[in-house]
Each structure stands twice: as structure tokens, then as C-alpha cells.
Amino acid sequence: MAADRYGDKTAIISGERRLSYKDLDRESNRAARAFSQFGICRGDKVAFLLGNSPDFIIAFFGVVKIGAVAIPLDPKYKLTELTALFNDFQPDLLLTESPCLETVSSARDRFPFLKHILSLGPRTSTKPGIGQDGGTDSFTYLLPLKSAEPLLFEPAEDDIAVIAYTSGASLSPHGIMLSHQSMAFEAEISGEGFAQTEKDIVPVFALPLHHAAGLTIVGLTSLYRGSTLLMISGMSISNLLETIEKEKATLFIGVPFIYSLMVQHAEEEGIKNDLNSLRLCAGGGSPLSVELSRRFKELYGHHIAQFWGLTEISAHITVQAPDGSSIPGSIGKPLRGCEVRVIDATGQELPPGRTGELICRGPLMKGYYNNPKATAEIIKNGWLQTGDFGHIDIDGNIFITGRKKDLIIPKGQNIAPSDIETVLLKHPKVAEVAALGIPDDSRGEVIIAVIRLKREQTATESDMRRTCLENLANFKVPKEYTFVDFPLKSAEGKIDKKALRKRLALPPVFPE
């Protein structure tokens, strides 16, 4: 955030609310002082359960300005998921809003380490914090009471700024520790990759700020480059297009699912808005098909610059050329200071054109929180083992062709099948379960659960869906449930999901 450089320039637009860079700096100073009032200081952990809003950005900078650690979480998580996550990193303070406030408050006895809860809603406590009178303090009530003068503190570059929990395994969490230095460098090179400047106006649409793409690639990158963030609520494509026209947005970053909806909208209703202000569209989070990219360009006149990365390496580390000159189907080339290689099963580097696992280095995480074993398994000799298969052509263009890790990615959300399997296995009638991702033209993948019931037990799809809805965020709930009467595990006690797909005549996610 560069208040000294951009001053009165608009940093955030959210409906009728507009914040300049100076406003954002002052408000985040107030936030820092508000957090300090509750004893939050360097190294303490502040969890966020918030939707997209200027208050999210204000609070985020307030946290990192005092050297505390911001931990953005998905507000769609259910109590089962939140309990596993909270027990993993044990937050000192939670900043939230309804309905998450009610969910956590009703179960606060489970979290003795949680000293304070702040709400974006009205104040219900007469005493600071939580537990003294059963109420909560209001972040928005406290902010105007604080001084806007900066605190005399400068976090060290190597301090942890964020612990990021992706929407992968939330029941067996892996918290990704990202330093101030790595996140700042990511914002710098991301802006270079998109050729982003202070003239850009960047919509925040269907990319949550609790996710690396929303927070870092869109939010922090834009504020580092002096651009304007344009927050758009809801999922209406019509509203998105109208707002792009009204505010003359220049750079749109989305997941393939949103581009699929935009294509569908244009085919059904035509394009009624003037979108000439757009200079670049970019996409990532899941594979972008050549056909979708081609059709989008036919309808909207824009190439989609595909990018790729992982939260473990701060966000994205490749991008196609903004001028559209990259080879269709590739994920572009590495950003400055980043490297990507292809290795075989023995760890030997492969030559151009050969397929293997992609490994990379750049603004790497410091490791998984309190999990050195998992860290050592994924970072070897300074290189991150990505779990993605692909190849690099002779000109350095990178292509992803498969996935080693057991992951499902619907609508750009990384989902660990183990979360779904763990929840369904707790159902008293279920003996075995396997969650699989099935290709889908618009969503990328949809989730199906393959279930073997215990002997002489019967159950319905509704029974299984109810169990999932009670314990998992809605986006993790399988779309279909298939009941089988044969064992899913091999004699070695493992489920061969590739063999299971073939037995059920289910298509692979990546063409074989």
C-alpha cells in the first residue's frame, strides 16, 4: 500500500463507498491501534471470517502493521471445519460477521485460546473482548475512536504476515506460512506480469479476499501498483458487465468458471455494455480450456492470459503474455525471480517436451505451520514439489497435463477429497467412500461420492447429502452419490481411484 505515493487517488470503490490511499492508510492505522487495545502484538494470530469488503482490507493492513499474523478463512465453513482449523493455529482474536459470529459464539467453549471476538456488526458487549458479559465488541464501533497516527513499529521482512489455509484439507489442515517479504515480492512480480499501473481499475468479483487469488493477485498487487480495486458483490454477470462499463474497469482477473458464465451470458443475451475500457483479462485457479478461451475472444474480443501457481509459493508464478502472443493451452512463462522445472520419478530434470512433475521456486512459503514433516515432503532442496504434471517446450512455455495430488477443483476451488470422505465415513451406515472429480464443461469439475454401505444397511442420496451439508462448506458437498456393492479398497487397504473410475466408466479429469 503506497499512501505516500498515491495519496488522494482512489484505492477502493465499493458501491457508494470510496476510499483513497490516504483514507486506507489512516483507517488501517486505526485498526492497528484497535487490535493493540486487545493486546494483539507481533506474532499473535488474528483470524478473519469475512466476506469481501473495504473493512477486510482495512483490518488486514491493521494486523500486519503491528506484526501480527492474519489468517483469512472461508466464511462458508461449517463448525466442524472451523473447529479443526481453530485447533490447528489457535487464534488470539477473531474478526467476523453474521452468520459466522453466531456459529462461533454458540460454540466458544470449544476455543479457550480465543481471547477476543470482534464483529463488523453492532456492539453487544459493555466490556472489551468476549466472555465477560457474553457479548462481542464491534470493529466498526471502535475504529473511529482510535488515532489515525501510525504506530512506531516496522515488522521484519522475514516475519510471518499470513497463514493461509486453502480450501483443500480443512479437517487435517496445512497452514501455509507466508512472510512479509514473499508477499511483497509476489505483489511486485504479479503486477509486472499483468503490466499493471496506477491507471488500472480492477474488479473484485467472485474472487474472495480470503483466497490467495483474491487477496494477493488482485488485492495486494493492485494496491502495490497504485491501481483501484472495484468491489462487486453477488454473482450476477449482468451486474459485472454494467459495473465494468460504469467504472471503466481495465483489468479483469477471474477463474475459468466465471469466463464460462460470461460466454453463456453473451450467447443467450448478447453483449449490451460498452467494455472498451478493458485492456486485459486473465484467468487461473483451474485449467482454462483452449475452446473456452477461443469462444471468449470471439464474443468479447479479448484473449484470456492464463496464469498458474500455488498458495505455497505465495500466489501465481507464471502468466501468459498480456499481448496475447502466448501459445494457446500454455500457462505462460515464469515471472521474474521464479523458476519452473520438470522432473521424473527419481528427481532428475527432464529435457524440453518430456512430461513429468512440475517443481518451482520463487517467493516460497516458510513452511506449513507446526508441521515440519509435511514441509520437508513438499520442499526439497529449495524446490516446491507442486503435484502437477506437465512439460515445458523448447521456447520455455509451460503446459499442465495432469495432476499427481488427490485434489478436486470445481469452480476454481481446491478441495481435498479426504474432507468429504472423512465426514461420510462417520455416518453409521457407511463402510467405504471415495470422492472423485468428474470433468464438467462450465464448472471444470463436479464432485461425486462413491459409497459402499455396511452389510444389510440402506441409505438414500438425501441421507448422505444431509450429512455433508451439516459438516462441510456447501461448495464441498458432492453433486452426485453413487452406491456400490463391491469393496473400494484393495488387499493393501488402499483405494485405487484410477481403477475405480474405469470400473464405473467415469472419465478422467485430464485426457489420457
Q: What are the residue boundaries of the structural domains of the chain, listed by start?
A: 3-155, 184-403, 410-503
> What is the model's pLDDT at position 167?
62
> What is the model's pLDDT at position 130?
46
Give the side-chain half-sphere CA count within 13 A for 5: 10
Low-confidence ranges of the chain (pLDDT < 70): 1-3, 124-135, 167-168, 512
- Rounded distance between C-alpha atoms, residue 493 and residue 461, angstroms: 26
Give CATH superfamily name and number for 184-403: ANL, N-terminal domain (3.40.50.12780)
Domain 184-403 in the same topology as domain 3-155: yes
- Rounded distance between C-alpha atoms, residue 449 and residue 432, angstroms: 10
Q: Which burial class, exposed, middle or buried, applies to 11 when counting CB atoms under 10 A from its CB (0-12, 13-18, 19+)?
A: buried
CATH of domain 410-503: 3.30.300.30
> What is the model's pLDDT at position 131?
40
- Rounded distance between C-alpha atoms, residue 94 and residue 64, angstroms: 15
What the block records as the C-alpha cell of 60 is 488486514
> What is the model's pLDDT at position 412?
86
**Domain 3-155 falls under CATH 3.90.1200.10:** no
Amino acid letter, 125: S
Buried b (16+ CB within 10 A) or exposed e, 447-476: bbbbbbbeeeeebeeeebbebbeebbbeeb
Per residue in 112-161, pLDDT tens?
999 999 999 877 665 655 444 456 889 999 999 999 999 888 899 999 99
> What is the model's pLDDT at position 483?
97
> What is the model's pLDDT at position 1?
54
